Amino acid sequence: MNTPVATSAEDQDSKLVQTVDKATAGAHRQIDTASEASGPAVDRMVRSAHATVDSIGGMATHAAEALDLKGEQLTKAKNQVFKATDDYLHAHPIVSIGLAVAAGYLISRALSSR
């Protein structure tokens, strides 16, 4: 009589193990399904992120090139102003000295009135 009880307990254990196995397998299937479903979404996000980084990099490169060009233009303009000033000072030394004295006088008047 003990045998049927033992068999019954073994059957219950076996059914419990089968139920756990089925639940585990089902969970794995759900995880795999979720992974497969989210894979394309993750891939799209990754592609979108890469495209955004490429776009920002392109804009930054363009801005850097524009700033470099403007810097060169400003340097050329500065050199032209310095050369023109130097040329004027050499061509008109007396007028240049008079202008410097007048500017100094005006600046001193403006500062001393405070």
- Tell me, what's the pLDDT at 75? 95
Q: Which residues of 16-46 are buried (b: 16+ CB within 10 A; e: fewer)?
A: eeeeeeeeeeeeeeeeeeeeeeeeeeeeeee
Sign of CA dihedral 7, 8, 10, 14: positive
Its pTM surpasses 0.75: no
Using CA atoms, how far residue 51 sits from 61, 65, 108, in Å, is 15, 21, 61
pLDDT digits (tens, 9 = 90+) for 71-98: 999 999 999 999 999 999 999 999 999 9
Q: Which amino acid is at 61?
A: T
Please state, in angstroms and rounded to a whole number, the distance separating the CA atoms of residues 14 and 20.
Answer: 10
